[in-house]
Structure 1
Amino acid sequence: MKEQKKDRRVQRTRNLLHEALQDLMVEKGYEAITVQDLIDRANIGRSTFYSHFVDKEELLVENVNILSELIKEQMVKIETKKTEVFRFEFSLSFLQHAQDSKHLWKATVAPSGLFVLHHIKRVISDLIREEITISNSSSSLKIPQDVAVEFVVNTLMSLIHWWLDGEKHIQVSAIEVDEMFHQLVLTGIGSDILN
């Protein structure tokens, strides 16, 4: 019973730190955040922070990994129509998350969010690589898989940047952006090599 209470307390502290990180990223950008900012916002002690994380980067990496798991869970819940044309299954969930968290995403794609963007691109790359491999298409790629993955990641990130710039997010839905993403990507690397 005591162990369960401790586990809940640990999870509560970690959740407070994740929320503090996200709030502060929106307010001042990742680079400007200090550990002191995080502990002040989460209302915890410095030793408590360091008992959970080595530094703010480790907190960020865990935060991005949580996003990856959330996207994977949503992929399972969303019934995608199986068509003859390949479609990335992660993209709609990812774009819906961006739409729901537009202030956080705006902070992420801003010039001050380059470090955060690096970690997000890593997660997206893993999701893309996994989907290409599952589709048994990596052997039919006429270009190196890493090049295809890089192209898909950068296309998606460019679209998100365009979409969240200004008021476009109000006029264009995640479903519409997902459609644009697939048109661009499948034209760029060829839908026939992903079947």
Structure 2
Amino acid sequence: MTPPDDRNRRLRPLHLASGLAIALFVIAHIGNHLAMFAGQAAHIAAMEALRPFYRHPLAETLLMLALAFQLGTGLSMIWRTRRQQRQGLARWQAISGVILALFILNHVGAVWAGRLLQGLDTNYHFAAAGFHAGYAGFFVPYYFLGVTAAFVHLACALGWRAKNRAIPLAISAAGMALAAGFVGVMASDPAIPPRYLESFP
């Protein structure tokens, strides 16, 4: 039987490659979310400008496949080394990877359910509705941890290669600040159309 470390060594380059492909979408997605600091209309306008690119059937299919591969390889590597003692970057990479995987599974599933089952435009209103439909206790940590985990996971990946540990720390801190900002904006903006609020039980 191939040792877990050897199998993980084979998967890491493929995991990194799919991660780089996903990063192109994430950069655009985070950029879109930055527009929410200018208000709902700015966020929706930026989203509508980007959608022709990432909602193209080919692009969307490739993104879903890349996400599935990323989750599968990442969780597989964590599971195979679950009995090993992790320290430093390895520990935070595993923790952020699990949080990010759970966030992506829930987030992508919710978006597809909103689009296909509820007929909703999954825009700013869709993302912020939960804060004002009585579920802030879930959505505050959900978005904060999900966004923070994405930045921490990236920081850990860079940390293995960067000699200066200040770079990963700065990326992690920036992620936490952005996550807090996104949550603060969505939680403090109650102007959500009723049909989005009514989608919650």
TM-score computed with the length of structure 2 as normaliser: 0.30
Larger Rg: 1
TM-score, normalising length from structure 1? 0.31
